[in-house]
Amino acid sequence: MSKRYYSQPGDRIKEFNPVVVSRYRGFTRANHWLTAFSLIALLLSGMALFSPYLYFLTGLFGGGQTTRWLHPFLGVLLFFSFLVLFLQLWRLNLPKPEDVTWVEKIGDVVKGDEEKLPELGKYNAGQKFVFWAMSGLIVALVVSGVMIWQQYFPDLVSIPARRWAVLAHSLAAVAIILVFILHVYAAIWTRGTISAMTRGTVTGGWAWRHHRKWLRELAGRERRDPAE
Amino acid sequence: MTTDPNLDSPRTAVSNPPIQPMPVNLGPGDVVRASAMPDLPAPTRELTPVAKLIDVSKCIGCKACQSACAEWNDTHPEIGFNTGSYQNPADLSDQMFTLMRFNEYENPETGDFEWLIRKDGCMHCEDPGCLKACPAPGAIVQYSNGIVDFISDNCIGCGYCVTGCPFDIPRISPTQHVSKKCTLCSDRVAVGQGPACAKACPTQAIVFGTKEDMVTHANARVEDLKSRGYDKAGIYDPQGVGGTHVFYVLQHADKPQLYSNLPADPKISGVVESWKGVTKTVGLAAIGLAAVGSVLHGLLSRGNRVTAEDDREAKELVEPSLPAQDKEA
Amino acid sequence: MTNSWTDIRNTDLVIVMGGNAAEAHPCGFKWVTEAKAHRGAKLIVVDPRFTRTAAVSDYYAHIRPGSDIVFLMATINWMIQNDKVQWEYVKNFTNAAFIVKDEFGWSEGLFSGYDAEKRDYDKSSWEYVVGEDGFAQVDMTLSHPRCVWNLLKEHVSRYTPELVEQVCGTPRDRFLHIAGMIGECSAPDKTMTSMYALGWTQHSKGSQNIRGMAMLQLILGNIGVRGGGMNALRGHSNIQGLTDVGLMSNLIPGYLNMPTEKDSDWATYMSKKGFKPLRPGQTSYWQNYQKFMVSFLKAMWGDAATAGNDWAFDYLPKLDVANYDILRMFEMMDKGQVNLYFCQGFNPLLSFPNRGKLTSALSKLKLLVVMDPLETETAHFWENHGEHNDVDTASIQTEVIELPTTSFAEDDGSLVNSGRWMQWHWAAGTPPGQAQRDTWIMSGIFNRVKKLYQDEGGPFPDAILNLTWNYADPHEPSAEELAKELNGRALEDVYDLKDPTKLLAAKGKQVANFSQLRDDGSTMAGCWIFSGSWNEDGNMMARRDNADPDETGAYLGWTYAWPMNRRILYNRASADMQGKPWDPTRKLIEWNGEKWTGYDVPDISPTAKPEEVGPFIMNPEGTSRLFTRGMMRDGPFPTHMEPFESPIANVFNPELRGNPVARVFADDLAQFATSDEFPFVATSYRLTEHFHYWTKHNRINSALQPEFFVELSAELAAEKGIEKGGWVRVWSKRGSVKAKALVTGRIKPMQCGDKTVHCIGIPLHWGFMGAARKGWGPNSLTPFVGDANVETPEFKAFLVNIEPIKGEAVS
Ligand SMILES: Nc1nc2c(c(=O)[nH]1)N[C@H]1C(S)=C(S)[C@@H](COP(=O)(O)OP(=O)(O)OC[C@H]3O[C@@H](n4cnc5c(=O)[nH]c(N)nc54)[C@H](O)[C@@H]3O)O[C@H]1N2
Ligand SMILES: Nc1nc2c(c(=O)[nH]1)N[C@H]1C(S)=C(S)[C@@H](COP(=O)(O)OP(=O)(O)OC[C@H]3O[C@@H](n4cnc5c(=O)[nH]c(N)nc54)[C@H](O)[C@@H]3O)O[C@H]1N2
Ligand code: HEM
Ligand code: HEM
Ligand code: SF4
Ligand code: SF4
Ligand code: SF4
Ligand code: SF4
Ligand code: SF4
Ligand SMILES: [Mo]
């Protein structure tokens, strides 16, 4: 079996006519949606505390007290859930030389003019940005979140440190929400992407259009390793 | 204490309060500020500001105020340990809203030893950092007489008030998960009684009345102290938080830190200000723009669609690897 | 108190020495803050520790425990040297002019007449020269070398500022500053008040400490005046009342004397009481002694007390020793001479000295009955509480019965405060559980004992069988009935002595006050000084009129002050020889040419002419005493005596140990230590947060002061390697305790000559019962010896050692 450079175990051509490519295993998808769920719950519960205008959101969780109680646990859930996701995905999110070109041609990305872009592996630079931004911000949120976690760590840090932590937490929360919006928007804008995380597969055309190197590697692997 | 119905606020706790029942005199209509309620309706009337004056130079550190506070508020401070000090419990807690802090001081100017005993507790700031920080609507309110009160029913126990307070006052109950601090006995003041601690104070080191009266009284006390050689005696009514409704007479007003680290120039921390200020506006705007923008753009643009060409290319690419039986299909 | 709490606000200078008023009497202390805030009064504190009182003082000086006499005598010396004397007062109102016998003298720390064998003085030389007219001789010019003034002058001349520094460890400049402040109060329009308590009383020469200040106050002219006085701050809320009705085993109610074995009959007893005036025209109020005594005996035995049986004088027990004080009782108990001990509202295991001895003594009882609302350590002395009460329960055979009582808040009655105000109070709560009033329990016991005597007889049943017991409910006399009985009533019609037609009190009526008491059996009164508190005008103790005309602080309509509702004792001395107030702004009473008028009840017959009758009518001299004659066991002047355990030898006589006439039991003598072994001076005291051993049962008080600690200087801590908040062991020759260390700058090492004296402070509120953390308190360590005159234990100065230890105490 040849080495994988642009794909990971489980990625394979699933059907040939029409071409259907497996992009995420069931476990990864479940992992992703747990992560997504916790972040959304965090977002809602956090935003409830963020602004008086959004305090009504506490209603979703059964009131202010439960919201306050739940939010950090969701944060912890998010952290571990994302950690598992991270361990699966980090390697393919490492930057590659072609990412530079991709970023330089961001105008063509936005126009959807993919032919002018370099061929890509499983992820483009945008996705990698989301990945690393999420990773970094989640760490920041966990750390700052624990520092302000009144119920369990009331005396963990001094009050001045706590002031900085809550400021950092809010800023990180704002940032991660922006990243989140970007991520979801990109997933929707790039039609055909959602199925990667729902059914686990993408169409051959999608793979050809957006992640050609990834597709080539999978196709190559099929050739060298006939099914029989 | 006044019993005159024409006076909206008590005048002094020095004399005995009324014994006949009085209707509750502090209501929702007296709230001038409430946490996380930017659109609070205007108060229906304006009460005369009140204040509790703590004359440190008269305080004998007897802790009668501490026990009166615990009794009145029905708290149950825990029986801790001796940590090598008269200060017990060691710190404020959700069960101990006020605490005598003891500091020993060798005065280098006079060569005299001094034992500076300060009653710590909520200062009832004119510009309360706790209220500013609080995310829960109506969990912290300020009445037009100046009292800053925590309304436990609305409190969610997040602890933001702890970060907001420049005096390190609020404490979150680890069992009830609500923030606790001195209420300035708003429940007593509302019915014409002075604070329990002032009532209990044997030396009248604590007095209560209108802020105006208390300032006059404090000035007289400062004069007395000056006549006893405390040249720097003065009032501690920090303007950084807009003045306070609990304030001190200090022998050494130039060095408040001597009194167990009373802050020299307290104000709401800049970090808190920017957290509650610019972060919120800019953050909300950015998130709002991003969300609305992406929805609009999502609706208007076609998206990046896979073409038939792409599908064919893909098929061609994977063709060679087709299992034999499928190739003909 | 000679004055009252409210009067303290009238002063110019407060000296708190021998007490810690802010800590132990915070509510009373408010009058000090009033004087400071409204009169610009100054506050001086002299204490081994910088106390909470010192925290609000204007001037503080430290003093080695047990050295106050030196300080006080030196202050008097300074007043004399610097002419800070209220001369007119001293000449006329004190015995300064009286001539003393030639045989009287002092040398090497001892007065004339000392008998080392008996540990007692022959006091016959401590007397005035009495002329052939039967009156004491005086020299109003004060030039006679044997007049009291010149003897005093000579006596105090030894007490210099240098001696103060050497013996008290008080820096010379601090002493001089204080002397200067006090000296200002010799002006007739300046007064000083002295507030003291145990820092002076709890010494083997405690009474002499107080004498010292009383003399100073007389020299300054501060007795009997507004804002002056000798103000003993009493302890338990009703300890004054208890003292009034006979706290001491040698007294019966109203400070009358318990007869001794030598008083073989009524006539012998009374022969010592007829105080004849020592100066012409004087009153000597104790001339009325017989009236009070007969009225007391009539209150006790009613119809059974008749002229024929000497008013049942024989029913009274007769003392075979000077005193059956608590120390003696426990000594006897320890010797196996006591079978049954009733412990009512008393927790001696924690509150009396040498706990080891107390435990041993209690273990020898057959029966211990404890009447208390709380579970006291005394009631549980047999219970093993680990190191906190390490007894061998199995070996203790004492049967213990706990009878739960109510407490003050659960019954009606009166409390007498330090200012002698008898304040009626009403029950504020219902007793919990099976708690019963003390009166119910006592009645139950009495009725049963009486029944036993009735049924079975006994060697001398009369005193029991004839005891008056006419209560509506014989099982529980009411507070009202008892109060009325103490006030007294007419048993026959009582007529005016000067005008026999004038009926003063009809038979069966309450007497108006003690002037209506008679020695012919026509009146009864349980406690003559209380007469007037519940008369035909009603319960005077329940009055609550806070009117205070001209703001003198007298409050004559508020409750009732004994005697006669008088607020300031000796108030006649507030006016000069002509009866004009020394200071018109401080007028109390004034002679208007015919009688005394003013704000207070005159402490003299209202028509007694100022030039004739002296202000101190309880003394046959009519004056106060700078020289006490034979009234004190340990000397007519205070002389410096070291505590029994002291790091320093008596400077006047290194051979002397403690008070040379204090009673010491042989076993205890062996347990006194020297500073070679126990180098540090310990003193014990209370904290505001607790009341003795009760409030450790209360959770809030316990939270405010949770755990036993000792206080020591930063210097001693550094020397011994003791850390703030760390554990230490403190031990004396009698026991050992563990405590948290409170290292403080409020206690300083004192330089006494070439010796550095370290002081260790030990608060007393911990034990092994209740809510607070278990601890010890000081009495595992304290010495078993009392004051020579009144047997108050020497709790305030003893020797200990200290070391840091590791770890938590276990129980
Ligand atoms: N909070 C509280 N108040 C109380 C009580 C209580 O238990 N708790 N108890 C009550 C009772 S029963 C009493 S009798 C009173 C006692 O009232 P106080 O006599 O005022 O109380 P203490 O704390 O025993 O001692 C007072 C001071 O004497 C100092 N002292 C010790 N030795 C000497 C000495 O040799 N010379 C001088 N000048 N000072 C010395 C001690 O340092 C201490 O500060 O308090 C009453 N009030
Ligand atoms: N080392 C040292 N020892 C000291 C002192 C010191 O300064 N140093 N101070 C001494 C002094 S001044 C004092 S006064 C003593 C105090 O010593 P104690 O009098 O032995 O101590 P208290 O704890 O006051 O005990 C009084 C008891 O009375 C009970 N009581 C209260 N109300 C009632 C009632 O209505 N009826 C009955 N039957 N009981 C009641 C209380 O519950 C309490 O247990 O300690 C003395 N011991
Ligand atoms: C409604 C919310 C979300 C939707 C619709 C969504 C959708 C998707 C889709 C379709 C993919 C596959 C994209 C691809 O493989 O090219 C994907 C990948 C991924 N998503 Fe989400 N997602 C959501 C929320 C989240 C959240 C909250 C997180 C993280 C906190 C997250 C983290 C990721 C990661 C890490 C990947 C893999 C891509 C990479 O590693 O760069 N997603 N998501
Ligand atoms: C990862 C672990 C996280 C922890 C432990 C955590 C903890 C906390 C805590 C303790 C608070 C204070 C309020 C409360 O007690 O509920 C808080 C507030 C908040 N959190 Fe988190 N959080 C985490 C993650 C996140 C994430 C991922 C987001 C982003 C959506 C977020 C958004 C917020 C927001 C917006 C607030 C309100 C801040 C403000 O009022 O300015 N948190 N968080
Ligand atoms: S804990 Fe403080 S900041 Fe949080 S809701 Fe309660 S009062 Fe407001
Ligand atoms: S002192 Fe602190 S808790 Fe009190 S009002 Fe000011 S900010 Fe709020
Ligand atoms: S004002 Fe009331 S709540 Fe505040 S410290 Fe005093 S007693 Fe306690
Ligand atoms: S009650 Fe008054 S004197 Fe006592 S500690 Fe409190 S403020 Fe000080
Ligand atoms: S007994 Fe009560 S009223 Fe008197 S000083 Fe003590 S605490 Fe105050
Ligand atoms: Mo006492």
Does residue B62 sit in the same domain as residue B91?
A: yes
pLDDT of residue A198: 96
Q: Which domain holds residue B288?
A: 276-328
Nearest CA-CA partner of C189 in C121, C89, C83: C89
d(CA C804, CA C802): 7
Q: Kindly report the CATH number that applies to the domain delimited by C666-805.
A: 2.40.40.20
Q: Does residue A43 fall inside a structural domain?
A: no
In this complex, do C699 and B76 lie within 8 Å of one another by their Cβ atoms?
A: yes
Is this prediction's pTM over 0.90? yes
Does residue B309 sit in the same domain as residue B165?
A: no
Nearest CA-CA partner of C800 in C674, C701, C693: C674
pLDDT of residue A1: 56
Can you tell me which residue has the tokens 């119809």?
C303
Token couple for C525: 């009164």
Nearest CA-CA partner of C227 in C39, C452, C469, C476: C39
Does residue B201 sit in the same domain as residue B306?
A: no
Domain CATH code at residue A111: 1.20.950.20
> Looking at residues C9-33, what average pLDDT do you find?
97
Can you tell me which residue has the tokens 């995310």?
B135
pLDDT band for position B318 (50/70/90)? confident
Query: Which ligand is in closest contact with the Cα of A211?
Result: 3
- Residue to probe by mutation, ligand 4, list A57, A67, A71, A184, most atoms within 8 Å of CB: A71
Q: Does residue A225 fall inside a structural domain?
A: yes
ipTM > 0.90 (yes/no): yes
Q: Does the active-site annotation cover A71?
A: no
Asked whether C692 and B62 are in contact (CB, 8 A), the reply is no
> Looking at residues C663-690, what average pLDDT do you find?
97
Does residue A214 sit in the same domain as residue A150?
A: no
pLDDT of residue A224: 52
Asked if pLDDT for residue B324 goes beyond 80, the answer is no
Q: Which domain holds residue A214?
A: 1-23+200-228
User: What's the mean per-residue pLDDT of chain C?
Assistant: 96
| DSSP class of C165 | I
Asked whether C221 and C186 are in contact (CB, 8 A), the reply is yes
Q: Does residue A46 fall inside a structural domain?
A: no
Query: Domain C5-237, CATH 3.40.50.300 — does that match?
Result: no
Least confident of A21-30, B12-21, B309-318, C317-326: B12-21
d(CA B279, CA A50): 10
d(CA A111, CA A107): 6
Instruction: Please tell me which chains touch B, using 3 or more CB pairs under 8 Å as the contact test.
Output: A, C
Q: How far is CA A111 from the centre of its chain?
A: 23
Does residue B97 sit in the same domain as residue B169?
A: yes
Q: Does residue A160 fall inside a structural domain?
A: yes
Does residue A105 sit in the same domain as residue A139?
A: yes
Does residue A165 sit in the same domain as residue A94?
A: yes
pLDDT band for position C283 (50/70/90)? confident
pLDDT band for position B325 (50/70/90)? low
Asked whether B184 and B65 are in contact (CB, 8 A), the reply is no
Note the pLDDT tens digit of each residue in C561-571: 999 999 999 99
**B62 is an annotated ligand-binding site residue:** yes
Pairing assessment for the beta strands C503-505 and C494-495 based on DSSP bridges: antiparallel
Helix C172-183 to helix C68-81 angle, to the nearest 10 degrees?
60
Domain C-terminal end among B268, B287, B312: B268
Does residue A190 sit in the same domain as residue A204?
A: no
Can you tell me which residue has the tokens 């005048």?
B11
pLDDT band for position B14 (50/70/90)? low
Note the pLDDT tens digit of each residue in A108-166: 988 888 888 999 999 999 999 999 999 999 999 999 999 999 999 999 999 999 999 99
Cα of C27 vs centre of ligand 9, distance in Å, is 5
Core vs surface per residue B298-326: b (16+ CB within 10 A) or e: eeeeeebebeeebbebbbebbeebbeeee
pLDDT of residue A3: 81
pLDDT of residue B10: 54
Distance from CA of B174 to the nearest CA of C (A): 18
SS3 A215: helix
The response to whether residue B157 sits with its C-beta less than 6 Å from ligand 5 reads yes
Does residue B205 sit in the same domain as residue B321?
A: no
pLDDT of residue B2: 42
**B125 is an annotated ligand-binding site residue:** yes
Environment class of residue C425 by beta-carbon count within 10 Å: exposed (0-12), middle (13-18) or buried (19+)? middle
Cα of B149 vs centre of ligand 6, distance in Å, is 9
Asked if pLDDT for residue B53 goes beyond 90, the answer is yes
Query: What share of chain B has pLDDT > 70, as a percent?
Result: 92
Q: How far is CA C99 from CA B320, C151, C615, C629, in A?
A: 141, 9, 20, 11
Phi, psi of C801 (to 5 degrees): -125, 165
Asked whether A173 and A145 are in contact (CB, 8 A), the reply is no
Does residue A176 sit in the same domain as residue A223?
A: no
pLDDT of residue B3: 42
Does residue A108 sit in the same domain as residue A205?
A: no
Q: Does residue B11 fall inside a structural domain?
A: no
SS3 A52: helix
SS (H, E, C) C417-467: CCCCEEEEECCCCCCCCCCECHHHHHHHHHHHHHHHHHHHCCCCCHHHHCC
Q: Does residue B21 fall inside a structural domain?
A: no
pLDDT band for position B329 (50/70/90)? very low
Does residue B233 sit in the same domain as residue B282?
A: no
Shortest CB distance from B287 goes to which of A49, A178, A206?
A178
Closest residue in B to A19 (Cα) is: B315
Pairing assessment for the beta strands C727-731 and C798-805 based on DSSP bridges: antiparallel
Phi, psi of C430 (to 5 degrees): -95, 145
Note the pLDDT tens digit of each residue in B273-288: 999 999 999 999 999 9
In this complex, do C29 and B203 lie within 8 Å of one another by their Cβ atoms?
A: yes
Cα of A71 vs centre of ligand 4, distance in Å, is 6
Asked if pLDDT for residue C310 goes beyond 60, the answer is yes
Catalytic residue, chosen from A32, A71, A169, A183, is: A183
Q: Which residues of B touch C727 (CB under 8 A)?
A: none
> Looking at residues B141-150, what average pLDDT do you find?
97
Nearest CA-CA partner of C762 in C786, C738, C789: C738
| DSSP class of C167 | I
Query: What share of chain C has pLDDT > 90, as a percent?
Result: 98
DSSP string for residues in C605-630? -TT--TTTS-SBTTSTTBSB-SS-GG
Does residue B219 sit in the same domain as residue B304?
A: no
Does residue B155 sit in the same domain as residue B204?
A: yes
Q: How many CB atoms lie within 10 A of CB A212?
A: 21
Query: What share of chain B has pLDDT > 90, as a percent?
Result: 82
d(CA C194, CA C216): 10
User: What's the mean per-residue pLDDT of chain B?
Assistant: 92
pLDDT of residue C468: 97
In sequence order, what are the residues at sequence separation of 6 or more whose Cβ sits closer than 8 angstroms to the Cβ of residue A46? A71, A173
Cα of A154 vs centre of ligand 5, distance in Å, is 13
Annotated domain spans of chain C: 5-237, 257-313+476-537, 666-805
SS3 B140: strand
Asked if pLDDT for residue C108 goes beyond 90, the answer is yes
Q: Which residues of B touch C704 (CB under 8 A)?
A: 63, 66-67, 77, 88-89
Domain C-terminal end among B268, B302, B318: B268
> Looking at residues C75-99, what average pLDDT do you find?
98
The response to whether residue C19 sits with its C-beta less than 6 Å from ligand 1 reads yes
Asked if chain B contacts chain A via 3 or more Cβ pairs within 8 Å, the reply is yes
Pairing assessment for the beta strands B99-106 and B140-143 based on DSSP bridges: unpaired
Does residue B115 sit in the same domain as residue B142?
A: yes
Indicate the number of domains in chain B.
2
Does residue B80 sit in the same domain as residue B149?
A: yes
Q: Which residues of B touch A160 (CB under 8 A)?
A: 269, 271
Residues with CB in 5 Å of ion ligand 10: C 235
Indicate the number of domains in chain A.
2
d(CA C504, CA C227): 36
Atom from ligand 8 closest to the CA of residue B58? 3
Domain C-terminal end among B268, B284, B310: B268
Q: Does residue B37 fall inside a structural domain?
A: yes
Does residue B180 sit in the same domain as residue B296?
A: no
Q: How many CB atoms lie within 10 A of CB C356?
A: 15
- Most C CBs within 10 A among B92, B104, B115, hence the mutation to make, goes to B115
Q: Does residue B298 fall inside a structural domain?
A: yes
